[in-house]
């Protein structure tokens, strides 16, 4: 059974710092990995999706990497801003999933960027 772990559970940084969030998964046979942002009282917003054949994806100040063989992904946030404060979740989709596009989620990293 796939398990997804995110470390750290919470992170507090001063504005302007570069930071890395970590995600690990136990079954390397994944189809893709997706990073989400969750704001309090709101739903999940997809940030980046990496297919299993890809090594990284970039969007603005965000860069997500994937090392499928070692079961790891990182989300790099450059020049962090207070508006980046949120909970960040990673989720993986199994390969050859016969039960639809089920995502297995980590519990998230709660990020606080202090002005």
Can you tell me which of 12, 45, 59, 70 binds another protein, judged by CB under 8 A? 45
Can you tell me which of 33, 64, 77, 91 binds another protein, judged by CB under 8 A? 91
105 binds another protein (CB under 8 A): yes
Can you tell me which of 8, 29, 107, 112 binds another protein, judged by CB under 8 A? 107
End-to-end CA distance of the chain: 41
Residues 6 or more apart from 31 whose CB is under 8 A from it? 51, 52, 92, 93, 94, 95, 96, 97
In which residue are the tokens 């997706």 written?
A: 34
- Judged by CB, which is closer to another protein: 13, or 63? 63
Whole-angstrom distance, CA of residue 21 vs CA of residue 104: 17
Q: Shortest Cβ distance from residue 1 to another protein (Å)?
A: 10
Whole-angstrom distance, CA of residue 109 vs CA of residue 11: 7
Can you tell me which of 14, 41, 83, 115 binds another protein, judged by CB under 8 A? 41
The footprint of another protein (CB under 8 A) covers 4, 31-32, 34, 36, 41-46, 49, 51, 89, 91, 93, 97, 99-103, 105-108
């Amino acid at each position: 059974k796939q398990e997804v772990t995110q470390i750290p559970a919470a992170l507090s940084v001063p504005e302007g710092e570069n930071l890395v969030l970590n995600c690990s998964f136990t079954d390397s046979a994944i189809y893709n990995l997706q990073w989400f942002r969750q704001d309090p009282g709101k739903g999940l917003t997809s940030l980046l999706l990496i297919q299993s054949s890809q090594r990284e994806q970039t969007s603005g100040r965000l860069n997500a990497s994937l090392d499928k063989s070692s079961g790891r992904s990182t989300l790099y946030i450059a020049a962090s801003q207070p508006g980046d404060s949120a909970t960040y979740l990673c989720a993986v989709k199994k390969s050859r999933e016969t039960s639809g596009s089920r995502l297995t989620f980590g519990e998230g990293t709660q990020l606080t960027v202090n002005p």
